[in-house]
Amino acid sequence: MKQVEVVLTNEEGLHARPASIFSKVAFKFKSDIKVYKNGNKDKVYNPKSILSVLSMGAAKGDKLLITAEGEDEDLAVQELKKLVEDKFGE
Amino acid sequence: MNFLKGVGVSPGVAIGRVFLKEDITIEIKKETIQNADNEIKRFKDAIEKSKQQLQELYEYALEKVGKHEAQVFAAHTMILEDQELFEKVEDKIRTESKNVEWALKEASDEYISIFEAMDNEYLKERALDIRDVTLRMLRNLLGIEDNSLVLLKEPVIIVAKDLTPSDTAQMDKDKVLGFITEEGGKTSHSAIIARSLEIPAVAGLDSITLQVKHGDTIAFDGTEGKVYINPDEKTIELFKEKKERFEQRIQLFAKLKNSEAITKDNVRLEVACNIGKPADVDRVIEKNADGIGLFRSEFLYMNRNDFPSEEEQFNAYKTVAQRMKEKPVVIRTFDIGGDKELSYLDFPKEMNPFLGCRAIRFCLGRIDLFKTQLRAILRASVFGNIKIMFPMISVFDELVHAKQILEEVKESLRNEGIAFNENMEVGMMIETPSAALLADIFAKHVDFFSIGTNDLIQYTLAVDRLNPHVSHLYSPYNPSVLRSIKNIIDAAHRENIWVGMCGEAASDPKLVPVLIGMGLDEFSMNPASVLEVKWMIRQHSREEMKAIAEQVLQLATSDEIEKFLDSNEKIHLF
């Protein structure tokens, strides 16, 4: 299993367009991917689901922990991290 | 005759029979199922059917309404395809033996309650979408006809509690004369669609669904929000005339889109728009306005948790400037304080916020924030025809100070080698009586004035227009206000600078001729009024209106002035 931590720096946070991009990218991977917000391990979010991503209500400054397990786990966490760092190509 | 009063959300007049759209409350029974595979197949089939309907709706809306509105259905499709939602329902079917209808209702309610509880407006609205999609799915599962609105045979007025995006996007202009809802307001989704389809509509009319039945006659006005149930002959005649006049107006105004705002004696004036966010430029372009006379930068800092960065502001100003091409875009610097408070800035509680630390007074106390905005505006200035203006200047020192800070920001941009328009015009709002009285002095130090009538009236008359005990005193026709405006325009013209107006008075049909006569150069307003004001300008000559304005300025009361303008044969009101 791989995991990375990343801070949301784009203005919109994970709303609207960024959420749908995040979801689309996650969907490309076969691995089982999970996201946790601000160190809360009790609430697991599914990045392949747009409803789950939106329901996070993640705003600028929130910290995301992304974990992946499966054949493409390395690539999955790297790409998702980069996406957040690049502010979803804003 | 008695009438009901709601909120007019889409202009126009409609007379016709009522089609009462009752809320189909879909009864769902909780059942224990035996064959989970079968239930899941029903689920998948319903998803497929719903997707097909949404695709049709998308194409229909794209053609009839527009890309932006059609996007709603693309979003609905994404919800249908959602992995987590699917898994939740599947899980409830397999492990709890629930029927698909019940499982879906439970799962969707979970999301709805999460989204409804959110602070963010955008996310809150997603609850509506989930509800709409769930209803569609349930209808398909239970074999309930998709929507009665598409089956309308004759033109009707729709009366409903509320209308979903699916309802409004299916409305055929030939079949729907107008609609009236209990819920909603000017900014609700159905109101926006009504305006773009040009169907008259009234919202926020409590319990209307209980007061009418199928087949009743209704006559209503989507501008004033007045609704008559089963009107008498006389009222019907009146509404027929009103409707005809309205339609003539629309046709006449539409023809003016590509004409210039030029008076009968060939004076070219400018009709510009007030906007609140970059997306509003769509309507400015649609009406072919001469520019943006007021870009309120409020939207940038409201509904959020921190102050907008320079980059974010720069991008917003740049987008607007580029889209307007060579046409002017007047950006007003932050008007914070007063009634506009921000959660992330600590405003001290004030006894009189309108006389307190707002707009330029606030910015001069927070030079860091002010400089960030000035940098963003200057950097964007190379991408179009941007002008800047300072709000709420009341004493001369404030203007000097603001201009000095602007110079400092320019100097640091020069040092960093960052490009900006060295000749960007710098103007100020005139909205305090002190600035109006000192207009001759201010005019020597700025490139233009923009008269903010809403505040100028409130400060000149010392009236809070939201206070019901004194709001009757608030009037743009008050001679003190009109004299003040005349004084401002004359002072500006003596120094050869131009004067605009960006308050509601700039699109008041009775005042436009007077303002033409006083010499106003630019009229800035809501995009909806652009064509009408253009028409007004083209009906009048400056020379003739000059005499009218002089007569008006001799009158003593608001009433006298309004009556004079109403009855003067030289003033053409539509």
> Longest C-alpha distance within chain B, in Å?
89
User: With contacts defined as CB-CB under 8 Å, which chain B residues touch A11?
Assistant: 304, 308-309, 312
Bridge-based pairing of strands B4-5 and B226-229 is antiparallel
Residue B24 clears pLDDT 80, i.e. is over it: no
Domain boundaries, chain B: 4-18+153-232, 36-142, 259-567
Looking up tokens 């009107």 gives B231
Q: Which CATH code, of 3.40.50.2300, 3.40.1190.20, 3.50.30.10, 2.120.10.30, is assigned to B4-18+153-232? A: 3.50.30.10
Closest among B209, B388, B380 to B294, alpha carbons compared: B388
Distance of CA B336 to the CA centre of its chain: 20
- Identify which of B289, B288, B281, B269 has the alpha carbon closest to the alpha carbon of residue B317: B281
Q: Which two tokens stand for residue B40?
A: 């899941």
What is the ipTM, given to two decimal places? Answer: 0.85
Report the pLDDT value the prediction gives residue B13, as an integer from 0 to 100.
Answer: 95
Residue type, B552: V
Q: Please list the active-site residues of B.
A: 189, 502
The pLDDT score that the predictor gives to residue B338 is: 65
User: Confidence class of residue B340 from pLDDT cuts 50, 70 and 90?
Assistant: low
* Architecture of the domain whose range is A2-89: 2-Layer Sandwich (3.30)
The arrangement of secondary structure in B259-567, i.e. its CATH architecture, is Alpha-Beta Barrel (3.20)
Euclidean distance between CA atoms B169 and A18, whole angstroms: 26
The predicted model gives B71-90 an average pLDDT of 89
Record: contact B306-A55, CB cut-off 8 A: no
Contact (Cβ atoms closer than 8 angstroms) between residue B202 and residue B8? yes
In chain A, how many H helices and how many E strands?
A: 3, 3
Q: Which residue has the higher pLDDT, B144 or B65?
A: B144
Name the pLDDT band for B118 (thresholds 50, 70, 90).
confident
Tell me: the pLDDT tens digits for A41-77?
889 999 999 999 999 989 888 999 999 999 999 999 9
Given the candidates 1.10.274.10, 3.30.360.10, 3.20.20.70, 3.20.20.105, the CATH classification of the domain at B36-142 is 1.10.274.10
- Dihedral sign for Cα atoms in the order B490, B491, B497, B500: negative
3-state secondary structure of B164: coil
> Can you give the pLDDT at residue B341?
64
What is the band of B163 on the pLDDT scale with cuts at 50, 70, 90? confident
Residues 294-323 of B with CB under 8 A from A: 304-306, 308-309, 312
Average pLDDT over every residue of B536-564 = 96
Residues composing chain A:
90
CB-based contact B85 A48, cutoff 8 Å: no
CB pairs under 8 A between A and B: 45
Buried b (16+ CB within 10 A) or exposed e, B317-354: bbbbbebbeebbbbbbbbbbbbebebeeeebeeeeeee
